Amino acid sequence: MSEVLFQSRGKVLTVDTMNPAVKKVEYAVRGPIVIRAVELEKELKQGVKKPFTEVIKANIGDAHALGQRPITFLRQVIALCAYPDLLNDNKFPEDAKERARRILQACGGGSIGAYSASQGIECVRQDVAQYIERRDGGIPSDPNNIYLSTGASDAIVTLLKLLVSGEGRSRTGVLIPIPQYPLYSAALSELGAVQVNYYLDEENCWALDVQELRRAVTAARQHCQPKVLCIINPGNPTGQVQSRKCIEDVIRFAAEEKLFLMADEVYQDNIYVQGCQFHSFKKVLYEMGPEYCNTVELASFHSTSKCYMGECGFRGGYMEVINLDPQVKLQLTKLVSVRLCPPVPGQVLLDVITNPPREGEPSYEQFIKEKTAVLNNLAEKAQLTEEIFNTVPGIKCNPVQGAMYSFPRIEIPDKAMKEAQAKGQSPDMFYCMKLLEEMGICLVPGSGFGQREGTHHFRMTILPPTEKLRILLNKLKEFHERFTREYS
């Protein structure tokens, strides 16, 4: 009897009964193309014949997975903290040991296996604050305004949880750049916020135009309450670096329209083009004077996953909040405490990044040499990517000024667009899937990031080793020329 009852009851959780907001979530960076790429890798291992011998994954900014070597000093301190017996090993330099001892003393029981404070280890937050002060030319940073996080993504989603409220026309509207990093659209879907698109200017190297922000806010006020403006600088997926004037204009706009500013600055060391420079939103805000620095609410984010480090797997990051209401800050602290604490190894890594070897210390020269080599190599690959793409008729690639990606515009013939429609795919998804099946190259369609109607793109990371990147680019060139002939 009980067995019959159990069978007739069915599942409690089904696609029809689950949270409908989760079903709306999409994340193109690990979407259908990537799933198929994994299947192709398995088929190759099983001996299935393909037109290629390996799958080249250029879909995600995962530096170490694509061959980047870890920075020695960072890993030395991590190793010492994970296995303190190594502090007695004379193979490790004294400056690495000194940092490890300091961090371990701040951990419960002297172990990174213990929980930390929910906001993060205090001495790490102090080092992050000092790092921000050095970066911004002495503008003060309060460790109490620093929240350590599980990568920048976790902090971004946590803050959005605080910002999103209301129903109907009072629902929170969040302005995000198009093209955007899909974390933002996914989080807004999950939280039930209103995504408000503002378009970057592709013809002007993906610049941000305040008039476009004004258009977006005015239109959004007809159906929601815009409260938040998200900026990604340097840009992902577009690779642009914002000028100081642009940042000043954005801050003035946020002040006028009473918008909370979220500055995603995880690529701040990745600047490649002469004449471009990273300006933090906090520095510019403070240099604009009390009218702005005492009123505009700002949260800025950084991570261990990008720049010269590429340590994605450690999931380390931080958020600094400025001008946050004290009562809201208490709620933020409560919210992060529900998750107990960010991963402590990620906090250790973040500490070493913000407190690197200083001139005169044993590890300084090697650290600077390794850091410079990584950034110089990325700059060369950024230029190589732009140059080769722009030799291909039907592909147009803006300069990769920063970050780790190119976002070229591609021309897709009408015949291919009709075939894509028949398959129920966007044209750039059709293009990227064909590229994967024929050449073994895994990219992400531009439609996964958003793009102006009638345009088509793909995002490609510049991270593969130079020789492999050159092969990838030449294969892409060959494919695009053949694809164009086939569908003309």
Nearest to 336 by CA among 75, 154, 144, 138: 154
Give me the architecture of the 115-354 domain, per CATH: 3-Layer(aba) Sandwich (3.40)
HSE-CB at 131 with a 13 A cutoff on CA atoms is 20
Annotated domain spans of the chain: 20-67+368-487, 115-354
Largest CA distance in the chain: 79
Find out whether 462 and 472 touch, Cβ atoms under 8 Å: no
pLDDT digits (tens, 9 = 90+) for 317-330: 999 999 999 998 99
Least confident of 248-262, 306-320, 366-380: 306-320
Give the separation between CA 149 and CA 319, rounded to whole angstroms: 7
Say which CATH superfamily domain 20-67+368-487 falls into.
Aspartate Aminotransferase, domain 1 (3.90.1150.10)
Token readout for 30 is 């690990």
Q: Where does the pLDDT of residue 398 fall: very low under 50, low under 70, confident under 90, or very high at 90 and above?
A: very high
CB atoms within 10 A of CB 280: 22
Judge if 20-67+368-487 and 115-354 fold alike in CATH terms: no
Output the pLDDT for position 340.
Answer: 86
Q: Where does the pLDDT of residue 3 fall: very low under 50, low under 70, confident under 90, or very high at 90 and above?
A: low
481 — phi, psi (to 5°)? Answer: -65, -40
Output the pLDDT for position 26.
Answer: 63
Give the separation between CA 247 and CA 243, rounded to whole angstroms: 6
Q: Where does the pLDDT of residue 86 fall: very low under 50, low under 70, confident under 90, or very high at 90 and above?
A: very high
Q: Residue 67 pLDDT more than 90? A: no
**pLDDT top residue among 168 and 377:** 377
Cα angle 213, 214, 219; round to 5 = 100
The residue type at 419: E
Indicate the pairing of strand 405-406 with strand 458-461. Answer: antiparallel
Nearest to 480 by CA among 442, 452, 439, 448: 439
pLDDT digits (tens, 9 = 90+) for 438-460: 999 999 999 888 889 889 999 99
Output the pLDDT for position 28.
Answer: 53
Terminal C-alpha separation, the chain? 66
Give the separation between CA 142 and CA 132, rounded to whole angstroms: 10
Cα distances (Å, whole numbers) of residue 482 to 192, 364, 434, 444: 43, 50, 11, 20
pLDDT digits (tens, 9 = 90+) for 249-305: 999 999 999 999 999 999 999 999 888 999 999 999 999 999 999 999 999 999 999
Q: Residue 200 pLDDT more than 60? A: yes
Give the separation between CA 85 and CA 81, rounded to whole angstroms: 9
